[in-house]
Chain A
Amino acid sequence: MPIDKKHIGSKYGPTTYEIGAEKLREFAYAVGGGVPSMGFTGTGAPTSLLPQLWQGREIVGFPSFCNVFAIAPFGLAVTDPKLGINLLMLVHGEQEYEFFEPVRPGDVITSTGEITDIFEKQAKDFVTVVTESKNQHGKVVVRGRWLAVIRHG
């Protein structure tokens, strides 16, 4: 049964996430071809990771580290019992991010989300969730647009 369009406008969050330096490293390591649990410590970083993590002497988050915190309201939306989505049938259709501010260790990020569209096409349901994440200074760090595709069983 298609997902009811009446859920358009449903809001999720706020969710909060505190940025940690080791988590930024783990993420860069996992994306960069390394093994997170065997990552590096101290002040150095493998040469291959320098642009991802270090701007001069300052650690910043890899842009799509926002996957880690901005996904929270999206996750709440697609697991909302009133939508009745079978997660095994869900795949990620599209993703868009606009980046405004880098994230740094110690930042506290608050994310909110809203379902902006629901439609059915070719035996699949499509759910669009728009998210916004702000830092502790109230500045928007990233906006996301998430498209979930749910295949019919």
Chain B
Amino acid sequence: MAKQLSVGDTFTHVRECDKYRPIYYAAASGDFNPIHIDADAGKAAGLGGPILQGLCTLSWAVESVVNHVEDATRIAKVKVRFSRPVMIDDTITYTGKVTEVANGRAVVEVAAKNQKGEDVLKGAVVEVRV
């Protein structure tokens, strides 16, 4: 039985960017851009150190919704703007809110903030088949 979604439903999901997370993600995804895995490269690029791959930050947003609906195959769409890099030791809290259920889709707006309360994603939306 598919989990039902209703307007107003909310959920949270927390992920930490531990020291090795960009390297683990690089190994799993193939994204070995030096700004993600090399502290010197991150500094040289003016980023203050290595930054997590944006697509991992996106994946965590998708994961927050997948865990809530308990079915990866129901995800229909994701859209994000990367507004701030995720750095080593950042803890990102994802807060999802169902804002619309219509035409076979539930729209979930996802806020993603670091431990300082700064948005790392803006305008993040995940759509779920219902």
Residue of B nearest to A68 (CB): B29
User: For chain B residues 68-123, which have a beta carbon within 8 Å of chain A?
Assistant: 69-73, 75-82, 85
Q: Does A40 contact B (CB under 8 A)?
A: no
B54 nearest CB across to chain A (Å): 4
Q: Does A30 contact B (CB under 8 A)?
A: yes
CB–CB A95/B54 < 8 A: yes
CB–CB A67/B73 < 8 A: no
In Å, the complex CA distance between A71 and B29 comes to 10
In Å, the complex CA distance between A34 and B62 comes to 17
User: For chain B residues 1-31, which have a beta carbon within 8 Å of chain A?
Assistant: 15-16, 20-21, 24-25, 27-31
Residues in B with CB closer than 8 Å to A98 are: 76-77
**Chain A count of residues within 8 A CB distance of the other chain:** 39
Which interface class (under 10, 10 to 19, 20 to 34, 35 or more) fits B?
Answer: 35 or more
Given A52-B63, A55-B72, A55-B73, does the pair A63, B45 have CB atoms closer than 8 Å? no
Q: Does B56 contact A (CB under 8 A)?
A: yes
Residues in B with CB closer than 8 Å to A90 are: 33
In Å, the complex CA distance between A68 and B46 comes to 26
Contact with B along A12-49 (1 / 0, CB 8 A): 00000000000100110111111111000000000000
Residue B54 contacts which of A68, A92, A97 (CB distance < 8 angstroms)?
A92
**Residues in A lying within 8 Å of B, measured CB to CB:** 23, 26-27, 29-37, 51-53, 55, 60-64, 67-68, 71, 87-99, 102, 151
**Residues in B lying within 8 Å of A, measured CB to CB:** 15-16, 20-21, 24-25, 27-31, 33-35, 41, 44-46, 53-56, 58-60, 62-63, 66-67, 69-73, 75-82, 85
Q: Would you mind naming 14 contact pairs between A and B with Cβ atoms under 8 Å apart?
A: A31-B56, A32-B63, A53-B72, A55-B73, A63-B75, A71-B30, A71-B55, A92-B82, A93-B81, A95-B54, A96-B79, A96-B80, A99-B78, A151-B46
